[in-house]
Amino acid sequence: MEEKTVKKRILTGDRASGNLHLGHYVGSIVNRLKLQEMYDCYYMVADLHALTTHYESPEEVRESAKSIFVDYLSVGLDPYKSTLFIQSCVPEHSELYLLFQMLVTISRAERIPTLKDKLEDLHIEEGLASLGLLGYPVLQAADILLYRADLVPVGEDQVSHIELTREIARRFNYLYGQTFPEPEAMLSEVSRLPGINGNKKMSKSLGNDISLSASKEEVREKVKAMVTDPEKIRKDDPGHPDVCTVFAFHKAFNKENAPYIETACKNGRLGCVADKEDLAAILNELLDPIRERRAQILGNPKNLRELLDMGNQKARSVASRTMEEVREKMRIGNPRFG
Ligand code: TRP
């Protein structure tokens, strides 16, 4: 049977700001590995989105885009099963973004809650956001609808962007005729990893991450630096695993042994130093095959280029067909005299 034609399509992406870390691993990568077996998946490095905030350091954005693409391959996203590509290599994203801007009012864009958060994080005064930053979710809508994706795996914080995407699809369909499906957000069970400093979110910009490309030694150092229960000073003091960052990592990466560790820590039978050594070993075991694949991939730049070209081309062929239809419906492009 033609199984391929009934597979639903998925699109999701990562801003090209920094490389991927363990937080991405538990929060999205594990899920994407599963999804690629069941769906027609498009995984995109969003370098244009990164430029909305990092336009003063384009070189950083490019380096980050490269390293995220290598991360995709290293963790086992399969370029023959999924379409792996870089957003700016498919210029149709920018074109559809421009056209979608006609369909969104300024006040609607200003009401998207992530904008306020971004302004706060970046210490930008209200009214001084660039148009690019204001348009961020509209660009995201273009990313999604360009491929007529059915499902968009994202975190809770992105739901407002998917809602806007649905509105844009509806409005476009109403004005110019049925063209886009209304995609749905696909929320995975919340598995958020704290940063090594105990902050509730691991993030490169907060400097509390362990990157997927970290060396063994780096992993050991970072685990050593993790914040534990401040009341557990000596090895045999009874600990409180619920406030301990190391324990949060055990729950994410060492599920089977977590109940044992919890009891041993509470009873004062497990000290923080030994506990951290165990965790570092577990993380290194997880990262070892990823490191091996990364070394292989980086050892063959010609192949790497070919894989990227392949993904970009596949994405572009879908995107260009959508754009032909969009241009026709919006009556732009070659008017074909006679
Ligand atoms: N905005 C998303 C984030 O910050 C990244 C992203 C860009 C995205 N384009 C997308 C996610 C399209 C899903 C679909 O994480």
Where do the structural domains in the chain lie, given as residue ranges? 9-193+301-330, 216-296
At 167 the pLDDT is: 98
**Those residues with Cβ within 8 angstroms of residue 173's Cβ, 6 or more apart along the chain or in another chain:** 179, 180
Is 49's C-beta closer than 6 angstroms to any atom of ligand 1? yes
For residue 299, report the distance from its CA to the centre of ligand 1, in Å.
Answer: 30
Is 46's C-beta closer than 6 angstroms to any atom of ligand 1? yes
Is 23's C-beta closer than 6 angstroms to any atom of ligand 1? no
Could you tell me where the DSSP H helices lie in the chain?
3-6, 22-24, 30-38, 47-54, 58-75, 92-100, 106-110, 113-122, 131-134, 136-146, 159-176, 216-224, 245-253, 258-266, 272-298, 301-329
Residues of the chain under the 70 pLDDT cut: 1-5, 189-190
Angle at CA of residue 325, ends 319 and 326, nearest 5°: 85
For residue 331, report the distance from its CA to the centre of ligand 1, in Å.
Answer: 29
For residue 14, report the distance from its CA to the centre of ligand 1, in Å.
Answer: 6
Is 144's C-beta closer than 6 angstroms to any atom of ligand 1? yes
- Smallest Cα–Cα separation from 82: which of 11, 185, 141, 147? 11
| Percent of the chain that is helix, strand, coil (3-state, to 5) | 60, 10, 35
Q: Can you tell me which residue has the tokens 């165990």?
A: 278
Q: What is the set of active-site residues? A: 118, 201, 204
Is 16's C-beta closer than 6 angstroms to any atom of ligand 1? no
CB 44 within 8 A of CB 12: yes
Is 93's C-beta closer than 6 angstroms to any atom of ligand 1? no
The closest residue, in CA terms, to atom 15 on ligand 1 is 14
CA distance 326 to 88: 19
| Burial class of residue 29 (count of CB atoms within 10 Å of its CB; 0-12, 13-18, 19+) | buried
Local structure of 331: helix, strand or coil: coil
At 205 the pLDDT is: 82
CATH architecture of 9-193+301-330: 3-Layer(aba) Sandwich (3.40)
For residue 262, report the distance from its CA to the centre of ligand 1, in Å.
Answer: 36
The closest residue, in CA terms, to atom 4 on ligand 1 is 15
For residue 310, report the distance from its CA to the centre of ligand 1, in Å.
Answer: 22
- Nearest atom within ligand 1 for CA of residue 140: 9
Is 152's C-beta closer than 6 angstroms to any atom of ligand 1? yes
Residue 10 corresponds to which amino acid? I
For residue 296, report the distance from its CA to the centre of ligand 1, in Å.
Answer: 28
Q: Ligand 1 pocket test: which of 9, 11, 12 has the largest number of ligand atoms within 8 Å of its C-beta?
A: 12
The total of other beta-carbon atoms located within 10 Å of residue 263's CB is: 12
CA distance 44 to 23: 18
Is 143's C-beta closer than 6 angstroms to any atom of ligand 1? yes
The closest residue, in CA terms, to atom 9 on ligand 1 is 140
In this predicted model, what pLDDT tens digit does every residue of 138-175 receive, in sequence order?
999 999 999 999 999 999 999 999 999 999 999 999 99
Is 140's C-beta closer than 6 angstroms to any atom of ligand 1? yes
Both structure tokens of 197: 């400093």
At 4 the pLDDT is: 54
Q: Which residues of 189-207 are buried (b: 16+ CB within 10 A; e: fewer)?
A: eeeebbbbeeeeebebeee
Q: 216-296 domain in CATH 1.10.240.10?
A: yes
At 190 the pLDDT is: 60
| Burial class of residue 237 (count of CB atoms within 10 Å of its CB; 0-12, 13-18, 19+) | middle
The closest residue, in CA terms, to atom 6 on ligand 1 is 13
